Amino acid sequence: MVKIAPSILASDFANFGAEIEAVEAQGADWIHVDVMDGHFVPNITFGPETCAAIRPHVKTLMDVHLMIAPVDPYIEAFAKAGADIITAHVEAGPHIHRTLQAIRAAGCRAGVALNPGTPAEAVRPVLDLVDLVCVMTVNPGFGGQSFIESCLPKISQLREWGGPGLHIEIDGGVGPKTAKPCVDAGADVLVAGSAVFKGGSVSNPSPYGENIRAIRTAIDT
Ligand code: DX5
Ligand code: ZN
């Protein structure tokens, strides 16, 4: 079963707790949390304190995507904040192997993300250290960008190398039109920000459910 992981980057920043509860009630499988530092990516969101504050509102799974460099000094803080999965970028520093070991040592599941310009080969040597590979299908930093199709061949390549147990997550520009080729190539987790939150709000959450179902329907047809 493919998991839909709404990114709260596209939700109301003044209302994370209620947004998370609303989107989970509408069928979200995981909650995707985008941490940006204004250095690794050209945007800033929030840090571990915000993750700790939203944690009690997450009933499913808190999937923390770190778009920060360096990563290692902050792993403990995100683990303490209650992250279930911590994903670090392979481009974020010279020691991804050490970073992934440290994430697991902190008690979390480990993920590695790769930017559109990074080949799948870059993460192959660390596949035995991860539970998830996040294939970015936009250049990270902002929601609402267009899906980059040339990233698709990486998905099947990673599925072949990682076997059935590896989560392959697609992040960026995922919606009803782009979800199916990702799943057909072997993805099992779809991050969707704008495609899930568009048209709804905490006081009118039913569009969240309709948007999630539209992605599911697109996958199944
Ligand atoms: C991009 C983030 C994504 C983003 C996806 O830097 O990592 O998780 O929120 O947003 P959409 O689905 O709108 O492309
Ligand atoms: Zn993300």
From 63, 84, 131, 171, active-site residue:
171
Task: Using 50 as the pLDDT threshold, list the residues of the chain that sit under it.
Answer: none
86 in the Ramachandran plot: left (φ > 0), alpha (ψ -120 to 50) or beta?
Answer: beta
pLDDT score recorded for residue 221 = 86
pLDDT score recorded for residue 149 = 98
Domain housing 13: 3-220
Between strands 132-136 and 85-89, the pairing is unpaired
CB of 145 shorter than 6 A to ligand 1: yes
- Our answer to whether residue 220 is catalytic in this structure is no
ipTM above 0.90, yes or no: yes
| pLDDT one-digit tens code per residue, 31-45 | 999 999 999 999 999
pLDDT score recorded for residue 140 = 98
Look up the pTM and report it.
Answer: 0.98
CATH number of the domain to which 70 belongs: 3.20.20.70
CB of 201 shorter than 6 A to ligand 1: no
pLDDT score recorded for residue 154 = 98
Q: Which residues are close to ligand 2, an ion, with C-beta < 5 A? A: 34, 65, 171
pLDDT score recorded for residue 15 = 98
CA angle 183, 155, 27 (to 5 degrees): 35
Give the number of the ligand closest to the Cα of residue 8.
1
pLDDT score recorded for residue 193 = 98
> Looking at the 3D structure of the chain, how many domains does it have?
1
Distances in Å between the Cα of 188 and the Cα atoms of 78, 83, 132 are: 24, 20, 10
